[in-house]
Amino acid sequence: MDSKKSLVSATVALCLIGASSVHADTPYPVYPKTTPAEHFSSQVNANVQKVAGTCNTSDHTKIRQSLYVNIPGYYVRLDNTLEGRMCSSYTFPVRVGRHWTNHTDGKTKLMETPVGTSRIIWKNFSVRFDRPRTHSTTYTPEGKRIRIPMPLKWMRSFLIRTKPENSNEYVFNCILHSTTDAYTIGTPASHCCIGLNIDDMLALYGLVLPEQKNGEPKREVPITLEYKVVEMEGKNVVLHADIYEKNPDYSAKIHDELRRLGYADDNIDQGKIDAALQLSKNQFNASYEKIRKKLLTGDFITQQDKEGLHKKIAAQDLLKK
């Protein structure tokens, strides 16, 4: 198991990014005035109840846990089910891999988060770095440049084994982990890892196998990694930017989603869809280019920048009058 721990350490070290400018130190983020181990133990019972949710069971280990990641949607969702019934579900925003190959270690490698199936093979309660790291230079949510002392004892990670679609080989270096660069959540910023802000990763870590602090999972937790650029949010169609240039057929996917809502093809206005897609494409291209430049220079990425990677359209606005 030591080799797995070493891989976690090396991978997290590669996945963390930060600005390079040196600024005055700031205090740690405010976390519980206790040790991480004590805090984890104190939260076990509450997390078990959160997992059980609406399911009346005295044995939470019978609940099936699974993770779903929508890469261009920038979120991970934990679903907890019992005999096909949804007990509870929790969603957290994430950052995903970049769409270019110039790695910070000087090598050329693919850094996209892979699409495929995966599972957790190790819960890692701490983060170690193969390369010494004393600070992470990053930003507050308001855009103020700060330095956070490292290593940060509240960081967590899941080592996962992923089988990319159309591949017979497994990928081990793309994991789920905390990032000190919360300003990059909602962007393609990592070196293929799925990153959560520290508070969200603490919450997710506590909810997944809530009784287990660390180590090889006692129960299987499967993960689905999907590239879904069209989703429904209530009666709204939500489009996500094609950050990996896979050239999906947005129009066909919109039709599929509208059919699921019960709309007949005769009621769907293709002209309105085409017009909406053109506006969305222009918006996506402008926002992605701005974010890409900021990632390369280490500049702060605003919430408005990130919102430009998505477009919400009322389903009614895509129908014939």
Instruction: Tell me which of 200, 226, 252 is where a domain ends.
Output: 226
User: Is residue 168 located within the same domain as residue 102?
Assistant: yes
Split into its structural domains, the chain has a count of: 2
Domain that holds residue 239: 230-318
CATH number, position 147: 2.40.440.10
Among 226, 242, 270, residue at a domain's last position = 226
Q: Check whether residue 17 and residue 142 sit in a common domain.
A: yes
Same domain, yes or no, for 148 and 249? Answer: no
Question: Would the pTM count as exceeding 0.85?
Answer: yes
The strands making up 194-197's β-sheet, listed across from edge to edge, are 85-93, 75-82, 64-70, 222-226, 116-124, 157-164, 176-179, 194-197
* pLDDT at residue number 6: 45
Query: Are 136 and 162 found together in one domain?
Result: yes
- C-alpha–C-alpha distance, residues 60 and 152, integer Å: 31
Q: Are residues 261 and 209 in the same domain?
A: no
Are 24 and 74 members of one domain?
yes
Please tell me whether residues 179 and 285 are part of one structural domain.
no
- 47, 157: one domain: yes
Q: Are residues 296 and 309 in the same domain?
A: yes
Mean pLDDT by 10 residues, the chain (321 residues): 44 39 43 87 97 95 98 98 97 95 61 97 80 84 89 92 95 93 96 94 97 97 98 97 97 97 96 98 97 95 98 97 83
Minimal CA–CA distance to 98: which of 179, 17, 10? Answer: 17
